[in-house]
Amino acid sequence: MTGTRDWVLPDADATTRLGAAIAPRLSPGETVLLYGPLGMGKSTLARGLIRAMTRPDEDVPSPTFTLVQFYDSDPPVAHFDLYRLTRPDEAAEIGLDEALDEGCAVIEWPERLGDDPAAWLGPDRLTVTLSEQGDGRRATVSGAGAWDAKLKDLHV
């Protein structure tokens, strides 16, 4: 990962807009990794991305208990919440490999994939780290593979 960009997101709407801005740039096999503490807006960003890929009124629940939700879009998108995983290999059991073979994935809590999440994923990844910034959030975004170039054209 060479390029990094930062955005201040003053509210949930801005976080949703960042997700929506990422959506049209996603290609099959690519992954969006969402890092940040509980309550930082990972699911809000994922919801904005998925609604931009499907339809604005799509029901996009957090997959905290189901672990994964699949959505019909072009390309298909899978939303993973790995918070409850106890071992990295459990990601294969819930369909991570298949999701990337057929479409793209948005992954909350990718640190549950172990010390090297890249070992589980393809080379084309966007990493979004959300942190507190006053009353809002800061999104630190970096790209690997194809996302290194795509990140330069990302506008919120």
Q: Distance between CA atoms of 93 and 121, rounded to whole angstroms?
A: 15
Q: Which CATH architecture has domain 4-153?
A: 3-Layer(aba) Sandwich (3.40)
Q: Distance between CA atoms of 155 and 148, rounded to whole angstroms?
A: 14
Which pLDDT score, from 0 to 100, does residue 1 have? Answer: 45
Q: pLDDT exceeding 90 applies to what percent of the chain? A: 79
The pLDDT tens digits of the residues spanning 4-27 come to 999 999 999 999 999 999 999 999
The pLDDT tens digits of the residues spanning 80-137 come to 999 999 999 899 899 898 999 989 999 999 999 988 888 889 899 999 999 999 999 9
Q: Tell me the domain boundaries of the chain.
A: 4-153
Q: How far is CA 2 from CA 25, 67, 131, 144, in A?
A: 18, 31, 20, 7
Which pLDDT score, from 0 to 100, does residue 49 have? Answer: 98
